[in-house]
Amino acid sequence: MRFVDEYRDAEKARALSAKIASLCEPGRSYKFMEVCGGHTHTIYKHGLEDYLPESITLVHGPGCPVCVIPMGRVDDAIHIAEQPEVVMTSFGDMMRVPGGRGSFFDSMAQGAAIRMVYSPLDALKVARQNPDKHVVFMAIGFETTAPSTAMTVLRAAAEGIGNFSVFCNHVTVIPAIKAILDSPDLRLDGFIGPGHVSTIIGCRPYEFIARDYGKPLVVAGFEPLDILQSIYMLLVQLAEGRSEVENQYARVVPWAGNLKALRVISEVMELRPYFEWRGLGFISHSALKVREKYAAFDAEQIFEIPGSRVADPKACQCGEVLKGVLKPWECKVFGTACTPETPIGTCMVSSEGACAAYYNFGRFSRERVREATR
Amino acid sequence: MCLGIPGEIVEILPDHADLAKVDVSGVRRAINIGLLENERLQPGDWILIHVGFALSKIDEEEARAALDFLEGIGQAYDDELAALRESSIDRR
């Protein structure tokens, strides 16, 4: 395991840690949400919470693509996979996500044709190579991933491929943040904004958070120093009484995003009126579907979809974890009935899920740092 | 799965629309560069890759720092590279 002392610029990290502490007003507590699961991973992996004063709490947000897939959607995908002549494809992360009737892996064991792919373009290749099958790509992910799916649909259309479709589960980050801001459960002081999502959407879509809700947001990179720097930038804004969108990750994220990617998404996809998020429930205009123009590539138009609705297992508190109301270890089944090997909830499945990240790295860090500094 | 991984462009593939051969930690695969059509990418340029697509052009210093970081995170990056090895979007 690597700790904060081992990564580059450990000196800078310690200096930032001191600056962060000096900006915290005595007697005030701060809650910042890191929206993105990649950030959650870094925070636990490097034990970053141990480098923050106790008055700062990091709350883990809903930005883990597989964590927010509701169980009913997994069941619907398995239903499609079970149709004759269908080959279902998706990313490796999707394979263990539990639905009401088990996961993709369980379904494969029972004979369904499901293949793991690295890219939607690999799924398209499976379609080219198997003209007697219909290949469905289970598309998941935020705006980081949606352009890749859209580009693949455009390619399939250009090549006139007739045996390929997308089961579209792309979600959009802004409505999820808004749902959290509107939720009475949680009082946040600011946001660490997602990095790679922002390479696509840019920084402007976050402006309402600063303007209408008065909360600062800093788009952050993925290294430990990036996250500490972003927390520092949030505290500076709070100390100066500002709430603005700032870009700590400007070396990768252009303020305007990737206009070509946004154009491609909007060519192929449109917003759904509403979509169910695991743990967060139905959120308006929070997901994408394939446009009518590309209906020939839309699995929801080609197949009868049951529209399964499955309540989360009673013991599972992923919903509270995804909203940041509960810390992973406060869930009743964390680390006992629910582990990365036998996940009950989605947050334990992906390495970006808060529970899996905490299970793999977090439990030991506080003790270890104390030992190291003794 | 939201991992963005840096890669260096080795060759722009002449016979394929939007594809470049890219080196990612020693793994060479075809990557779609169609989302960066205005960047005029050349061999030697670094890009941030996600599920087979280049999302943004980055400078070499950022790429090296990101690689250092990713090689340190272990399993998640190993899984990503293993998945990339299985990818061959340039083959029919």
A260-304 residue pLDDT tens: 999 999 999 999 999 999 888 899 999 999 999 999 999 999 999
User: Looking at residue B74, what is its pLDDT?
Assistant: 78
Return the pLDDT at A363. 54
Token pair 């007003």 in the structure block, residue: A25
What does pLDDT average to over chain A? Answer: 91
Please report residues of A whose CB lies closer than 8 A to that of B37: 260
User: What DSSP element (H or E) covers A233?
Assistant: helix A224-239
A277/A330 Cα distance (integer angstroms): 21
Distance from CA of B21 to the nearest CA of A (A): 15
Picking from B36, B62, B72, the nearest residue to A252 by CB comes out as B62
Looking at residue A117, what is its pLDDT? Answer: 96
Residue-wise pLDDT for A156-192, tens only, equals 999 999 999 999 999 999 999 999 999 887 889 999 9
Q: Which of A128, A253, A258 sits opposite B92 (nearest CB)?
A: A128
Tokens coding A63:
């930005």
Residue type, A361: F
B86 pLDDT above the threshold of 60: yes
A47-61, A123-137, A176-190, A303-317 — which one is most confidently predicted on average? A123-137
Report all structural domains of chain A as residue ranges with CATH numbers, in order of start: 71-171+287-302 (3.40.50.11740), 318-365 (no CATH)
CA A243, chain centre distance (Å): 24
Residue A370 scores a pLDDT above 50: no
User: Which of A243-247, A333-337, B66-70 has the highest average model confidence (pLDDT)?
Assistant: A243-247
Provide the residue type at A315 as one letter: A
Handedness of CA A230, A235, A237, A238 (dihedral sign): positive
Give the H/E segment covering residue A178.
helix A173-182
Is residue A254 within 8 Å of A199, Cβ to Cβ? yes
CA distance A20 to B18: 45
Structural domains in chain B, CATH included, are 5-85 (2.30.30.140)
The DSSP output letter for A287 is B
Of B1, B4, B52, the CB nearest to A66: B1
Q: Tell whether the model's pLDDT for residue B90 goes beyond 90.
A: no
In chain B the first and final C-alpha atoms are separated, in Å, by 25
Which of B2, B75, B86 comes nearest A352 by C-beta? B2
A359 pLDDT above the threshold of 70: yes
Q: Considering Cα of A323, then A327, then A328, then A332, what sign does the dihedral take? A: negative
Residues in A closer than 8 angstroms to B27, CB to CB, are none
Residue A92's pLDDT is 92
Task: Note the pLDDT of residue B92.
Answer: 67
Complex prediction ipTM: 0.94
Beta A86-90 vs A134-141: how paired, if at all?
parallel
Cβ separation A200–B55 shorter than 8 A: yes
How do B27-32 and B46-50 pair as beta strands? Answer: unpaired
The pLDDT value recorded for residue A273 is: 96
Whether residue A253 is predicted with pLDDT greater than 60 in this model: the reply is yes
Q: Where is pLDDT greater, at A217 or A337?
A: A217
Q: Cα separation of A324 and A33, whole Å?
A: 8
Reported confidence tier of residue B1, pLDDT bands at 50, 70, 90: low
- Residues forming beta bridges with residue B81, ordered by sequence position: none
Give me the residue from B35, B66, B92 closest to A261, CB to CB: B35
B65 vs A contacts (CB less than 8 Å):
8, 223
Asked whether the beta carbons of residue B48 and residue A92 sit closer than 8 angstroms, the reply is no
Residues of A in contact with B69 (CB under 8 A): 7, 222-223
What DSSP letter does each residue of chain B carry, written as one string?
A: ----EEEEEEEE-TTSTTEEEEEETTEEEEEE-GGGGGG---TT-EEEEETTEEEEEE-HHHHHHHHHHHHHHTHHHHHHHHHHHT--TT--
pLDDT in tens, B28-60: 999 999 999 889 999 999 999 999 999 999 999
B40 in reach of chain A (CB within 8 A)? no
Task: Kindly tell me if the per-residue pLDDT of A366 is higher than 50.
Answer: no
Q: Chain B residue closest to A144 (CA)?
A: B2
> Band of the pLDDT at A318, cuts 50, 70, 90?
confident
- Asked whether the CA dihedral A15, A17, A23, A25 is positive or negative, the reply is negative
User: Between A and B, how many CB-CB pairs are < 8 A?
Assistant: 131
Residue of A nearest to B92 (CA): A125
Which of A46-55, A150-159, A259-268, A320-329 has the weakest average pLDDT?
A: A320-329
> Which tokens belong to A242?
């500002």
Q: Decide if A118 and B50 are in contact by the 8 Å CB cutoff.
A: no
Q: Is the pLDDT of residue A133 over 70?
A: yes
DSSP-derived 3-state class of residue A66: coil
Place of tokens 């680390």: A335
Stronger pLDDT, A185 or A120, i.e. the higher one? A120
Q: How far apart are CA A305 and CA A262, in angstroms?
A: 28
Q: What was the pLDDT predicted at A1?
A: 34
User: Which residue from A131, A247, A128 is spatially nearest to A199, judged by alpha carbons?
Assistant: A247
Predicted TM-score of the model (pTM): 0.92
Contact A260 B36 (CB under 8 A): yes
